[in-house]
Amino acid sequence: MKRRELLAAGAAAALAGCAGEQADCGPGAAGERFKWKLVTTWPPNFPGLGTGVNRLVEMIDRASGGRLKIKVYAAGELVPPFEVFDTVRGGTAEMGHGSAYYWKGKTEAAQFFTAIPFGMTAMELNGWFYNGGGLELYRELYEPFGLFPFPAGNTGVQMGGWFNREINSLDDLKGLKMRIPGLGGEVLRRAGGTPVNLPGAEIFTALQTGSIDATEWIGPYNDVAFGLNKAARYYYYPGWQEPGPALECIVNRQAYDSLPADLQAVVEIACSATNDQMTAEFVARNAQSLAQLREKGETEIRSFPPEVLDELRVLTDQVIDELAAGDPAVAKVYASFSDYRAMAEDWSNLSERAMLNTRG
């Protein structure tokens, strides 16, 4: 609430500055109002993701004094979930919210700005974005598409997924049809499985009917909201495929440039606030939902065998090395990503990991 009050106060100050005779606040400065559309990859009002987008646009509305109003269209309401990128690129909607790894067909390097297997945690990834050059690379990558991206949420470490059979060795992944996007899907393919890319709203039915044998989604908070615990028995951790996946808000660059400087700042700050708030929400709600799963006792929560994780890590390195060798954009982004991860890991070991181990 304090952050929202600060946003409103900042916008009010900007408005006052624009009201001065000598003020220069750029295009649209004379109180011009804007009406935008925002399309998402999430079901309507879906906990954490959809509701986080709703908070984002409410914050922008309040902080802008109503000068920038944004109507949210959930997945399928205006366009299908996986058409968000092109819809914002073409200007049919000015904003979009989703995950960058959905757009690997546009540019493989986009995946690093959501998550890669065995990559960085949410806090490490934010460090790279804001203090390690990641955000600059993100915007450079999207520039040819006429898009301006912002980090706008993170689910934290995810779960490894729901399975209709036990995973005791790498052989158990062979022939497995699993909903798993991004580089994790390619790693599963190398392990002998079949990755399937499905939007969230279709996962439960596919798992329940046997169209897929397993799925990763997010974590207990959203998985229980989808009822995935009713469609599969085994719930594996850790989420090797997504250790701290970021969500993004993409803005049509021409639309963004049409805003006066104060409204551009409102969008930027609101995305940053959403990034913090959504991460905090997932930490709290995942813990609550996990407790509910344990109380019901119908789900078997298991860790992947160490040998399985070791093999998946080897395959991950092979996949990324091959991508980097054939794609200059991937090579450039991965060099920055991996250098920062190595630096951050040393501090994470002395801080977060050591403290958690000490706490027991």
Is the pLDDT confidence value at 8 over 50? no
Looking at residue 44, what is its pLDDT? 94
Tokens 């044998």 found at: 213
CB neighbour list of residue 250: distance below 8 Å, 6 or more residues apart:
84, 85, 88, 95, 96, 97, 98, 142, 147, 148, 149, 150
pLDDT digits (tens, 9 = 90+) for 74-106: 999 999 999 999 999 999 999 999 999 999 999
pLDDT range class, residue 14, cuts 50, 70, 90: very low
Looking at residue 28, what is its pLDDT? 46
pLDDT digits (tens, 9 = 90+) for 113-146: 999 999 999 999 999 999 999 999 999 999 999 9
Geometric angle at alpha carbon 201, from 117 and 212, rounded to 5°: 60
- Percent of the chain past pLDDT 90, that is, above it, reads 91
So what's the architecture of 2-156+245-283 in CATH?
Answer: 3-Layer(aba) Sandwich (3.40)
Looking at residue 26, what is its pLDDT? 46
Is residue 134 a contact partner of residue 340, using CB atoms and an 8 Å limit? yes
Looking at residue 31, what is its pLDDT? 82
Looking at residue 4, what is its pLDDT? 44
Q: Cis peptide leading into 243, omega within 30 of 0?
A: no
Determine whether 254 is exposed, middle or buried from the number of CB atoms within 10 Å of its CB (0-12, 13-18, 19+).
exposed
Lowest mean pLDDT among 10-24, 49-63, 253-267: 10-24
| Token pair listed for 38 | 């925002």
pLDDT digits (tens, 9 = 90+) for 46-69: 999 999 999 999 999 999 999 999
Nearest to 121 by CA among 220, 238, 236, 272: 238
Is the pLDDT confidence value at 9 over 60? no
| Token pair listed for 36 | 């935008």
Model-level pTM greater than 0.95? Answer: no
Domain range annotation of the chain = 2-156+245-283
Tokens 């959504």 found at: 278
Looking at residue 169, what is its pLDDT? 97
Looking at residue 5, what is its pLDDT? 52
pLDDT range class, residue 185, cuts 50, 70, 90: very high
Q: What are the distances in angstroms from CA 47 to CA 54, 137, 151?
A: 11, 30, 19
